[in-house]
Amino acid sequence: MDSILKSHGLATSAIRRAKRREKGLLLDGEAIYTSYPVKAGQVVAILCDDRAPSNIVPNEGPVDILYEDEDLLVVDKPAGLAVHPCAGSWEDSLGARLVHYYHQTGLEADFHPVHRLDKGTSGLMAVAKHPSAQHVLTAALHSGRFHREYLAVCKGIPSPAAGVIDAPLGRSDDSYIRQEVRPDGKPARTHYEALETGERFSLLRLVLETGRTHQIRVHMAYVGHPLAGDFLYGTEEPELISRPALHSHRLELTQPFTGEKLAFGSPLPGDMAKLVDQ
């Protein structure tokens, strides 16, 4: 029984909680233990009530929800909104807004982001409603079952116009925030392609093989083409754009329990579109 449940992506914590409940685990309608042997043709059922009240303080604010089912949401995050409560964003964050949304709609759900976007990055994010869904979706990251594409505006014209940046990343010795390319860092690979080029900027499409902190921003700066507006790895230029010019443009994933294929797109936001026009 235990192997069957785990093979369907259920987290160990969810299985443990089900074991403690009356009729939490059933085989053909009869309560059993996780050690019970199962046979082909039998029906396994588990009570997945692993939704717990969030410790995030809710805060009312707009959330652009593109998709929602009982397990997950896909949202289009605006630039300038932190994903989690943090210094400078203790009251307002995507998590706080979604917890408020859950309370308003009567949902017993919690905030479990499958992947994260920097505060300044806009675009598509998948957010699980409970730990089991997060467990399955996180395991699918960087596989054929979970595909992300980004659009970015960088300084100059990359040469070659398309390629792969393969450079390990780790935290800088003199900063808790800044990342850098370093030989003892974790493997990081970024695929890029220049879609449009001009005298000052290029519009790039990027796909990540890995998901390191600030990966796109560090890799583009490493090859000499930092993102426009990137105060940390390039030059802060508020007259051009008030944040790093990076947008989560396309998201494809598989619903963790039904197997349905889901695909979403988000157009280039206005501040980045102005740079492209220039």
DSSP letter string over 204-250? EEEEESS--TTHHHHHHHHTT-PBTT-TTTS---TTT-SS--EEEEE
Higher-pLDDT residue of 46 and 178 is 178
- Tell me how many domains the chain contains: 3
pLDDT at 20: 78
Query: Whole-number mean pLDDT of the chain?
Result: 91
In this structure, are 167 and 262 located in the same domain? yes
Do residues 70 and 101 share a domain?
yes
Question: Are residues 134 and 158 part of one domain?
Answer: no
pLDDT of residue 59: 93
Range of the structural domain that residue 206 is part of: 143-278
Q: Are residues 155 and 136 in the same domain?
A: no
pLDDT at 81 over 90: yes
What was the pLDDT predicted at 245? Answer: 98
Indicate whether 110 and 233 sit together in one domain: no
- Is 80 in the same domain as 32? no
In this prediction, residue 87 carries a pLDDT of: 74
Catalytic residue among 118, 166, 271, 277: 118
Q: Choose the weakest-confidence range: 134-138, 158-162, 238-242.
A: 134-138
pLDDT at 51: 55
Instruction: Examine the residue annotation and report whether 118 is marked as an active-site residue of this protein.
Output: yes
In the predicted structure, residue 216 carries a pLDDT above the cut 60: yes
pLDDT tens for 218-236 read: 999 999 999 999 999 999 9
User: Is 37 exposed, middle or buried, given 0-12, 13-18 or 19+ CB atoms closer than 10 A?
Assistant: exposed
The answer on 260 and 194 residing in a single domain is yes
Interatomic CA distance for residues 244 and 221, integer angstroms:
12
- The answer on 172 and 224 residing in a single domain is yes
Distance separating alpha carbons of residues 91 and 58, to the nearest angstrom: 8
Q: How far apart are CA 32 and CA 122, in angstroms?
A: 47
Q: Residue 154: helix, strand or coil by DSSP?
A: strand
Model pLDDT for residues 29-67, shown as the tens digit of each residue: 888 888 888 889 999 888 865 555 568 899 999 999 999
* Interval 92-150: pLDDT, tens: 999 999 999 999 998 888 899 999 999 999 999 999 998 888 888 998 988 888 999 99
pTM score:
0.83
| H helix or E strand, kind and range, residue 45 | strand 44-46
